[in-house]
Every structure is written in C-alpha cells, then in structure tokens.
C-alpha cells in the first residue's frame, strides 16, 4: 500500500434510490459539498439513475454510479452492488429511506465496516408508517445497521415505538440549511410585478406533497378575500403536473396560479414569495420549509411528521390539518390582511433556524457520528485507524 492510500480520508458511499431534484437529495449534495475537506471522501451510488441534478455536486473526486435497478426484487442489483463495494472499499455505507434499506445486508456481506441508515420521511402510500411488511423489513435488517438516523422527533418516536428499533441504535440529527444562501431579500420574478401577495411552495409534484389541496385552498382564499391581489406559485415538477394544471384550469385560476417548473435557483425564488405554504400529508423535517424560514418567510403548513417541531403557531407560522383546504385557507388569510404579522413571524422563523437548524450543526453531527462508529470498527485488515485524523 502506498503513502497516498495510507493517508487518504475514509470513503463514505451514499446509496440513494435516484438522484434528482428533492429535499433529501439537496441535503445529500450539500453534505458532500460542505463537509470539511480532509475528513471524508464521498461517492454516490444510485440504485436506479441520476439526472443533471448531479452536476450540483461540486466537490472534486466524487464518484457517481447508477446501477439501473429494474422494477421488482431485482436480485441482480444486490450482486452489482456487492461487486461495486468490493471495488470501492468504503468505510461507511450510508443508505436513505426504505428503498435502499435492504442493501445494508449486502454491504455487510461485502465487508463494509459501518452501515448507517437515514429515515427522511414516509411516502403517500404509507404516511403513518404502519405497513407491516415494510416495518418487518426494517426490523429484519437491523442487525446489519449500526445506526438509524431519523431527521425529526416524530420519525425517531415512530422508529422506536412502531417499528421497534432499539433506542441504542437511534440517533436524531436535525436537517440543516445554508443560512448564508437562504436569507431575506428582494426577489426579481415577474409574478411580483403588480405587488401581489405571493403564496409560494417548492417541491416535487407528487401525492405526498398534495399540492392539489393547496390549489383548492387558494381558490377558497380568493373568494374569501376578493379585494386582495393574490398569486400562487408552485415550483417543481413531477408526475402530477398535468393533473394540477387541469385543476387550475377547471377552477379558472390560470391568471393567478403559476406552475413554474423545476428551478435550480431556489434561494432567490424564495425571496420572491410573501408566504411559504406546504400541504404535505407526510414529512420528516422538510428542507424547503427550513429554506423558507431561513428566508424570513412566514410559513403555513400541515401538522404532519416533524413540521410541528419547526412551526410554532402564533410565533413563526401556522398549522392546519392535512387534506383540509378550508383550514389551510383560514391559516393563510391573516398573513394576507396583516403584513406586519407576516414580517414578525418571518423574523422569528429565521431566528429559529439560526438557533437549531444550521448547516454547520448538521455537518458537525454527521462527522461526529461517522467518527464514533468508525472508531469501533476495524477499517483495514492489517490495522485499526480512526475514521478522521
């Protein structure tokens, strides 16, 4: 073994289902780009594929691999991953969400010393996380996982009480946001030109985000406040785009609802909103909500998952039940009619992010977790070395 190999930082292989625009994916990219140089090297393995979103990885030397897993059990993907891990020789495999959890066993078989699994949220098919087959799988692979990382208190409690993961294997790490990039300011979007109150949301257009309820709430809000100039902006793309556009057309909202598509410049887009709304039926700790709060926007969101940990009604925003457009409209209305209230709650949200949800706090927690786990494992056959000098 040469000197370069001996001194190279340990490798973390991140296994994700697909690398595309999304909150989890944004966190992964930010973690790779922002973690202190010299601590860990990184590789990204996509079970299926990746899009041009991968270009956001700016750290040099990050290997990116797509396994092109077909639908179904696809046992061949386990063999492909086994061979890849034997070649890469990572010190850590970090898997994300249910779609990748079974591959912790493959990593164990391939000799990867440390296996970490993060739970960032649940999907629309099982928003409460009670599917018995899924939870059985989570329990069966527990011996191969050194640490489960939930990103909200709600997910931590669910893993312990419902899935029955031992508390000793759980470690809560709050998601973090770049408070330098996401900040208050003046936007420069055409939807601001007439001074309208802009209700904005950012997220993949899919069932779990339930933007259809937000569109319906917006229609109710316009009827309740006919003298107010209102606009709704949906940033993102996904399988429900055509359905949402049809809903907008049916409600006659084409002039005031904008489906803006995917945007790579989310930070300045946030600065063009007057309020951020999130209508999800299931969440962990939503990255877009953190970004909105860091941008000093008042937030109105559904009371699901880890959102109540972020949003304190009457302090930095308002909460509404999921799938309830009337309640969502009622929660938004006070901010439209009282702009001073919107400014106060936006400032309080920014303060909350700075106190608990900064990017640096998240990165420090992950480095500490990696270090602690690696120091208990044999990283090489001939020597035991700490993960980070």
pLDDT on residue 268 = 96
pLDDT on residue 161 = 97
pLDDT on residue 256 = 97
pLDDT on residue 122 = 86
The set of residues, in sequence order, having a beta carbon less than 8 Å from that of 279 and lying 6+ positions away, is 201, 209, 210, 211, 213, 214, 217, 301, 302, 322, 328
pLDDT on residue 258 = 98
pLDDT on residue 6 = 56
pLDDT on residue 378 = 54
pLDDT on residue 387 = 55
pLDDT on residue 73 = 86
pTM (two decimals): 0.85
Q: Which is nearest to 218 in space by CA: 206, 230, 229?
A: 230
pLDDT tens per residue, range 299-330: 999 999 999 999 999 999 999 999 999 999 99
pLDDT on residue 7 = 77
CATH topology identical between 3-176+358-374 and 190-356 = yes
Any idea where the domains of the chain sit in the sequence?
3-176+358-374, 190-356
Structure tokens at 191: 């939807």
- CA distances, 104 to each of 21, 34, 138, 156, 160 (Å): 24, 25, 11, 19, 19
Residue positions counted in the chain: 389
pLDDT tens per residue, range 249-285: 999 999 999 999 999 899 999 999 999 999 999 998 9
pLDDT on residue 183 = 96
CATH topology of domain 190-356: Rossmann fold (3.40.50)
Q: Is the dihedral of CA 360, 289, 282, 18 positive or negative?
A: negative
pLDDT on residue 8 = 86
By the 8 A CB rule, do 315 and 265 touch?
A: no
Residue 164, CA atoms < 13 Å, CB-side half-sphere:
8
The CATH number given to 3-176+358-374 is: 3.40.50.2000
Q: Which residues of the chain have a pLDDT value below 70?
A: 1-6, 378-389
């Amino acid at each position: 073994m040469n000197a370069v190999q001996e001194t190279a930082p340990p490798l973390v292989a991140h296994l994700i289902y697909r690398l595309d625009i999304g909150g989890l994916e944004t966190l992964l990219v930010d973690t790779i780009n922002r973690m202190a140089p010299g601590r860990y090297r990184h590789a990204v393995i996509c079970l299926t594929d990746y899009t041009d979103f991968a270009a956001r990885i700016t750290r040099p030397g990050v290997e990116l691999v797509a396994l092109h897993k077909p639908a179904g059990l696809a046992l061949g993907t386990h063999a492909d991953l086994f061979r890849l891990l034997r070649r890469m020789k990572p010190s850590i495999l970090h898997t994300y969400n249910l779609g990748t959890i079974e591959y912790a066993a493959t990593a164990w078989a391939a000799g990867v010393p440390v296996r970490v699994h993060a739970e960032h949220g649940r999907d629309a098919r099982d928003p409460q996380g009670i599917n018995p087959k899924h939870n059985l799988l989570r329990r069966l692979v527990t011996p191969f996982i050194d640490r489960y990382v939930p990103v909200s208190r709600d997910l931590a409690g669910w893993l312990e009480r419902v899935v029955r993961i031992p508390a000793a294997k759980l470690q809560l790490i709050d998601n973090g946001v770049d408070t330098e990039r996401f900040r208050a300011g003046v936007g420069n979007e055409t939807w601001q030109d007439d001074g309208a109150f802009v209700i904005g949301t950012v997220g993949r257009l899919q069932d779990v985000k339930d933007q259809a309820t937000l569109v319906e709430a917006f229609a109710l809000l316009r009827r309740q406040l006919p003298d107010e100039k209102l606009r709704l902006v949906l940033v993102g793309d996904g399988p429900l785009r055509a359905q949402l556009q049809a809903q907008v057309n049916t409600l006659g909202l084409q002039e005031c609802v904008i489906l803006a598509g995917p945007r790579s410049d989310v930070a300045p887009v946030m600065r063009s909103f007057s309020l951020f709304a999130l209508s999800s039926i299931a969440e962990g700790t939503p990255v877009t909500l953190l970004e909105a709060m860091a941008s000093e926007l008042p937030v109105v969101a559904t009371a699901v998952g880890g959102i109540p940990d972020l949003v304190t009604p009457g302090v930095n925003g308002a909460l509404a039940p999921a799938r309830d457009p009337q309640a969502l409209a009622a929660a938004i209305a006070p901010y439209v009619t009282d702009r001073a209230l919107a400014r106060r709650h936006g400032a309080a949200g920014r303060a909350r992010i700075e106190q608990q949800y900064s990017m640096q706090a998240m990165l420090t927690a992950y480095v500490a977790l990696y270090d602690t786990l690696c120091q208990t494992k044999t990283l090489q056959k001939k020597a035991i070395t700490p993960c980070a000098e």
